[in-house]
Structure 1
Amino acid sequence: MTFPSKGPSRVTMQINTYPLDLPHFEATLDHKMRTFGSQVDRTIVTVDVRPPQSGRYKGDPKANRYMHSLETFRGLYPILEDRYENLSFHEVDYSAAEKAKVSKYFLGSEEMPDKAWDGGPFYCYFQGILDADSDYVLHMDADMLFGGQSQTWVEESIALLQQREDLLFTSPLPGPPDPGGLKGKHEGADHAFDEDTVDGRLAYRFHFVSTRVFLMDMKRFKALVGTLHLDTPPLTYRLRGKLLGNPIKALSAEQVLSLTLQRHKLGNMCFEGAGDGMYSLHPPFHFPALHAALPDLIERIEQGDIPDGQRGDYDINDSLFDMSEARQQHARHRRIKRRLKDFIAYWSARLKVS
């Protein structure tokens, strides 16, 4: 396919990332370009270089690791743009003019918060989607992995969106297909989706959408939704956000989009597609052993070497790769300790300034 020189493209793959994704970025980008590169008109990598200062998304801009990662990441832009056809890197534009443009398009107002109540990414998602300037945007986070490798999944998704006016999004099947249906965190969550069929295969029409991966019909968004509504986060969220120094105006981007689906009775169809289909896998943790093993792990996934224990589960589990080391590091008492440390650091800095 050719890179359009003027006007919107039909479909763009838009990948969100930030500098601390560096340890896995090259391997996962190479995988995504093999998987989807020939199915889209172009690929945009949206790099968020403004980190939150607290919470689980924290990236300290004064830390050597963050600054070194940012410098190294920027050095990769021209190398990877030369390596892959129709690929470009775009750093998130936080200028007043761009923020007003993005906010006007998605919210119908002049202001959009940079981050969600928990410090998680917010504005960067919407700026990246609008920057794609396409009829259809295949959005995904940088760490997502895909199996099945169907080279017709994007075209099938677009055809499905054109046939079904009750859909705003499509997504790959969450996890490798399993005769028993969805497992893991989706097991027993019948209220979250309705079973459906797409071309005779079992599919799931979800009432929510994950910002990890989706294909979005932009024209339908403007025609049937128009603008998003920022529901006020619950009081407990606002208190936690305030204590950690986060903006408290918005829920996560995922929750905002999901509530929009429910308000407008629209859906997100998760389906496999023809042939070997397409499914997504998400690494729930990031740690050095996983990063070192990524090339072999990606090769296994692309070749369909999937153990039965992984089927139906969209989070990579121990049957596919041993996550016990990272799970121990993310134990509840450790998370609480990190939150307390974030709280003390934020308010200590505030008191020093005042």
Structure 2
Amino acid sequence: MNHAQSTLIHQAPSQSRATQTETCSLSITVARTDIPFMMQTIPHLVRSCNFPFFKRVLVMDTAPLSQEKVNRPGLGSLEDLRACCQKLVDDGVMDEILEIDYSESYRRQTYQKYFGCSEIRPTHNYKGSPMLGYMFSIDKVPGDYVLHLDSDMLLHQEPGFNWIQLGIDLLNRRDDVMFVRPFAGFPMPSEALVNQTQSYEYDPEGFYKFTFFSLRAFLLKRSKLERLCPMPVSWRCFKRKWLSNLPSRVLTSVNTWTGRGKLESWEIIMSRQLEKMNCVRATLAHPDAWTLHPLKHGPKFVENLPKIIDHIERGEAPQEQVGYYDLQLECWL
């Protein structure tokens, strides 16, 4: 494609032959860090999905912020977050709000289910991300299938196309597929994935196979997810390297006893389990639905977000965005 052409590129529509047969709910987790942009991104995500969800659920994280989250721009109060969530429900964008349950009984019950150990104490991982909240956002959102989207994701889907139903069909057809997501990044004419840091393989059924799990966007079938549980919990490396070589159950006992251990990211834990179980995460190769993820959430992003969303919903992006799955903010300004 000639780089001297117009800076905006358009993808043509395509039809889906799939039909909806089971219930699927939408789960979006929000925290105080999302207040600057969530009132724009969440309605956009619901519009772009254009799917008859059984429930559209906001999962609200009320825990104190920690680690790098403390310094995010535009932090509001919990009252501000609750007001935003309620407006999304009042406006008919979302159906209900669930606050993450941080009670000891829920924590013990949930960690027993996912990790086979009820004694684990941290509710957040080493980066301050809500480990327990990720599990809550799956367990407490109803439906045979759950679509989780991070609240800052940006999604395009051509009219008449239905990536969610294609994902449901794939989850039912392939035993090895545990999660499905749409194409990552604005697609190149060849529909190839580029700028990927994780290894993958192309499957003839029309998707890319990853053993690396990503939290940003995934569709799952609840009954299939249970096959991955319980999974070995992972902890961040110790200063004394030899401790990191101990078996997972021993490390869990040490961390429980000392109270100092920090959980590894949910992505790493799930990725290791996918590889161990010979399962994959599928990224659909179809260019009629694709996502972008913003790395920066500062004033420039928020100020230009209406314009960015408008272009994405029309299937347009700057030439410089082609092939990148993270939003290249500067080329949108």
Residue in 2 that maps onto 1:232: 235
Question: Distance between the aligned counterparts of 1:318 and 1:285, measured in 2?
Answer: 8
Q: Structure 2 unaligned runs (5+)? A: 1-21, 244-254
How far apart are the structure 2 equivalents of 1:312 and 1:260? 29
- Residue in 2 aligned with 1:41? 54
Distance 1:15 1:72, change over 3 A: same
CA contact (8 A) 2:59 2:99 kept: yes
Alpha-carbon distance in 1 for matches of 2:331, 2:89:
32
Q: Which residue of 2 aligns with 1:122?
A: 131
Contact 1:52-1:59 within 8 A present in 2 as well: no
1:212 aligns with 2:216: yes
Counterpart for residue 144 of structure 1: 153
Say how many residue pairs are matched: 294
SS state at 1:235 partner: coil
Match of 2:110 among 102, 108, 124: 102
Checking the alignment, whether the CA contact within 8 Å between 2:184 and 2:325 is kept in structure 1 is: yes
Tell me: CA distance 1:85–1:282, structure 2 relative to 1, closer, same or farther (3 Å).
Answer: closer
Taking only the aligned residue pairs, the percentage that are identical comes to 26
Structure 1 match to 2:70? 58
Once the two structures are superposed, residues 212-245 of structure 1 have per-residue CA deviations (whole angstroms, 9 ceiling, x without a partner) of 11111221121x3221211232235999xx9xxx
Is contact 1:307–1:319 with CA below 8 Å preserved after alignment? no
| 2:19 paired with 1:19 | no
Query: Superposed, which structure 2 residues align to 1:283-298 within 5 Å?
Result: 283-298=294-309
Aligned to 2:174: 164
The alpha-carbon deviation at position 250 of structure 1 amounts to 1.8
What pairs with 1:304-323 in structure 2 (closer than 5 Å)? 304-318=315-329, 320-322=331-333
Q: TM-score, normalised by structure 1?
A: 0.76
SS in 2 for 1:159: helix
Letter in 2 for 1:197: P
**Alignment partners' CA distance in 1, 2:272 and 2:297:** 29
After superposition, the Cα gap between the structure-2 partners of 1:163 and 1:249, relative to the gap in structure 1 and judged at 3 Å, is: same
Change in 2 beyond 3 A, CA 1:15/1:196: same
Matched with 1:338 is none
Distance in 1 between residues matched to 2:179 and 2:276, nearest whole Å = 15
Match of 1:193 among 190, 196, 200: 200
Distance 2:144 2:239 in 1: 38
Q: Hey, what's the Cα distance between the residues in 2 that align with 1:319 and 1:291?
A: 13
Determine the C-alpha separation between the residues in 1 that align with 2:303 and 2:128: 28
Deviation, structure 1 residue 85? 5.8
> Which sections of structure 1, spanning at least 5 residues, go unmatched?
1-8, 323-354
Runs of 4+ residues deviating >4 angstroms: 236-239
What whole-Å deviation, never above 9, does each CA across 1:131-168 have from its counterpart, x for those lacking one? 11332111111100012346411111000111111110
**2:289 maps to amino acid:** M
Taking only aligned residues, the RMSD between alpha carbons, in angstroms, comes to: 2.7
1:286 aligned partner, one-letter code? H
Q: Is the 8 A contact 2:318 2:332 kept in 1?
A: no
**Cα distance, 1:108 vs. partner?**
2.4
Under a length normalisation based on structure 2, what TM-score does the superposition of the two structures give?
Answer: 0.80
Name the structure with the higher helix share: 1
